[in-house]
Chains A and B, each alone.
Chain A
Amino acid sequence: MMRAAEKLSMPFEVKDCTLITRMGGVDSAVNFRELRKRIAVCPTECLFHHFCETQIRPSFDDPEFRNDFAVWSARVMRDRVLAERLGILNPYTFDTLELLRETVLDILDERMSELPYIPSAPKDDDFRFMQAATVVFDCGITLETPKDLLDAVPNMSFGSIYYHFIEARRRTENRTDDFTAWLEDCGAACEELSSAFAAVDFYYLTLPRLKTTLVKVIEQFQRRLANA
């Protein structure tokens, strides 16, 4: 059984984060040919931004695709075939962003070979390449036991959820989330919870939905603990 109230060797410091965005340093694209050309040379930070940082960006919409290339293909270029092929890509399943880049270029080449002509975007709707830095703040909250974590997640901001559950995969050696990494110290007793966190298909969820999913995972785990 999990030693929920037992202190782990290292405390867990809860962080929050936000983005500061800037232009990606490559020209905008008005059609798929230009999009391909720019994606081939843009910094990997641009790929990361348009694939992985879409969840943390302030937005009113909940677009049907998670990456900006798919959203642009669907909304602006009205090419749902391309949008769906790009939209299914999960960047976290690629070992490197360069491999992701190759795949995106393949998909664009394939789609362009199917089209009788290359359409252009309407005025002012060209694709603008962006990149961002993640700014990390201290929330002033320190967790010491697994139970603290279970209690804390439901109260975390979306920025905290993004930083610890999604952004963590960019900076940690095992490309895992911070919660799972911390619970490793707890050993086999926490494996069940870690596995449940690992099974969350986070990439296709908005942050509010991701938080709800994590809270559900925790509630189920707590119910099982209580019944054990």
Chain B
Amino acid sequence: MPEKSLAAYEPVVGPEAISQLRQLGDQLKGARVVHVNSTRVGGGVAEILNWLTPLMNDLGLDTSWETVTGNEAFFNATKAFHNGLQGSRFPLTDTMIEAYEQTVAENAERLRGILEEADFVFIHDPQPAYLLELCPNRKGHWIWRCHIDASHPNRLVWNYLKRRVAGYDASIFSMPNFAQSLPHPQFIIAPSIDPLSDKNRELPAEEIDDTMRRYHIGRDLPIVTQISRFDRFKDPIGVINAFNLLNGSVDARLVLAGGGATDDPEGEAVFEEVLLAARGNDRIIAMQLPNDAHRTINSLQRASAIVIQKSIQEGFGLTVTEAMWKSKPVIGGNVGGIRLQVHNHHTGYLVDTPEGAALRIRELLEQPEHLAKIGRRARKFVKHNFLLTRHLREYLTLMLSLRRGLENHLIRVSP
């Protein structure tokens, strides 16, 4: 795949946005930047780093992307951190902490050189957070990027993680509500999508048709889709319940599809629960997709009339952004970053229950013009607020403001 370049985005976002990025890039040219997360495949963070790294390089920064590797015990521990940050109650055991710290320490041996020399280090989510303490001779600014809704964390987990992240120079949260009290500046940067990625680019109609045929999804009825990992926080069972509540009032098919992530050991169990709940209803199609099935997901979203994201906890909800970019109204759970994107009656509907989701599915399918109007607004909203150029601009701005000092309320980028 060719390396991404900013020039390719100009037809989508316009020359002004690209010029602003170039101006910021000129101020940061040559800066050594390292991003660290725990997986290269699957999940929103890996997707973001897939474009963020090459585009920072295109602007003249010297950027690399590293991952921490670990065994099952490590990923079980970090999955527990992840769920704990989202509020799950469970005991945080010494064994978990030991597995976590030992694995990160092993990774630090491999990464210490590049991290200590970097001008800016972005540590994504809790998995690599402990690296800071293991790099005592660090020279640059270290920023902890929390992609998770940490608004009501399990206190045991947060008290542990807070000690790990308090020493950073700054942190980034996706929404003000996600931020926790920390002794350093906490920036608010919403995530974004890449409009030119396989998951979001325009597709030929034939390819969409082929995909639907391949997965035996009939297009004789409108399709309602939830695309997300098989994870209890995404409430796939709630989506099935909502669909069952339609009870023949409108004809539709429900598709539940999602890829796995290498750091998510729970997915298989949840998928089994979904299959069980869908048994006996041939209008419900549940399928697990390979991690690289981006064009398949793109096709499914484009073939859908409505996209659902009925999460009961959500970081930001990039699948919502993706659907809105494809002019689809979204029925989303009234949580997390979904609230930032879905505005009732404007870009979709926020719901708290399967009943609410059923009501809105029915309302939209019965009013095609209303459905189309909401879809158009949704795309426009994403174009202005949630494309990667805005996201990149805010990362660069943060770096510049850390370098120049946070006391300046005016950051002049131009010479």
Give chain A's interface residues, CB within 8 Å of chain B: 15-16, 18, 20-23, 25, 27, 45, 48, 58, 60-61, 124, 128, 130, 132-140, 157, 171
* A133 with B411, Cβ < 8 A, contacts A27-B181, A60-B347 known: yes
Question: In angstroms, how far is the closest chain B Cβ from the Cβ of A131?
Answer: 8
Return B193 CB to nearest CB of chain A, in Å: 15
From residue 378 to 415 of chain B, which have CB atoms closer than 8 A to chain A?
381, 384-385, 393-394, 397-398, 400-401, 406, 408-415
Residues in A whose Cβ lies below 8 Å from that of B283 = none
For residue B414, which residues in chain A have a CB less than 8 angstroms away from its CB? 15, 136-138
Interface pair A61/B179, CB less than 8 Å apart: no
Q: Which listed residue, B188, B411, B415, touches A135 by the CB 8 Å rule?
A: B411
Q: Does B187 contact A (CB under 8 A)?
A: yes
Given A45-B409, A133-B411, A157-B16, is A138 in contact with B186 using a C-beta cutoff of 8 Å? no
Residue on A nearest B176 in the bound complex, by CB: A128
Interface size on B, as a range, is 20 to 34
Instruction: Show 16 residue pairs from A and B whose CB-CB distance is below 8 angstroms, ordered by the A residue.
Output: A16-B20, A18-B393, A18-B397, A20-B401, A22-B185, A23-B176, A23-B179, A23-B186, A48-B409, A130-B176, A133-B409, A134-B410, A137-B19, A137-B20, A138-B23, A139-B19
Given contacts A58-B384, A135-B413, contact A22 B346 (CB under 8 A): no
Interface membership of B151, Cβ < 8 A:
yes
Instruction: Give the residues in chain B near A140, CB-CB below 8 Å.
Output: 19
Whether A21 pairs with B188 at a CB distance below 8 angstroms is yes
Knowing A20-B401, A23-B188 are in contact, say whether A136-B381 is a contact too (CB < 8 A).
no
Q: In the complex, which residue of chain A has the Cβ closest to the Cβ of B377?
A: A60
Query: With the chains together, A58 CA to B386 CA distance in Å?
Result: 10
| Contact of B232 with A by CB under 8 A | no
Question: Judging by beta carbons under 8 Å apart, are A22 and B409 in contact?
Answer: no
Indicate if the CB atoms of B16 and A139 lie closer than 8 Å: yes
**B residues in contact with A135, CB < 8 Å:** 397, 400, 411, 413
Query: Which residues does chain A contribute within 8 Å of B410, judged by CB atoms?
Result: 133-134, 136, 171
Residue of B nearest to A157 (CB): B16
Please determine whether B413 and A124 come into contact, CB atoms closer than 8 angstroms: no
Contact present for A124 and B409 (CB under 8 Å): no
Having A21-B187, A22-B185, one finds 14 other A-B pairs with CB under 8 Å, namely A15-B414, A20-B187, A21-B188, A23-B176, A25-B185, A27-B181, A45-B409, A58-B384, A128-B179, A132-B409, A133-B408, A136-B411, A137-B414, A139-B19
Asked, given contacts A22-B188, A27-B181, A133-B401, whether A60 binds B20 with beta carbons under 8 Å apart, the answer is: no
CB proximity of A123 to chain B, nearest CB, Å: 9
Most central of A18, A21, A60, A136 by chain B CB within 10 Å: A60
CB closest chain-A residue, reference B411: A135
A83 to B381, CA, bound (A): 28
Please, which residues of chain A bring their CB within 8 A of the CB of B188?
21-23, 130
Residues of A within 8 A of B187 (CB): 20-22
Cβ of B177 within 8 Å of any chain A Cβ, yes or no, is yes
A135-B411 Cα distance, complex, nearest whole Å:
5
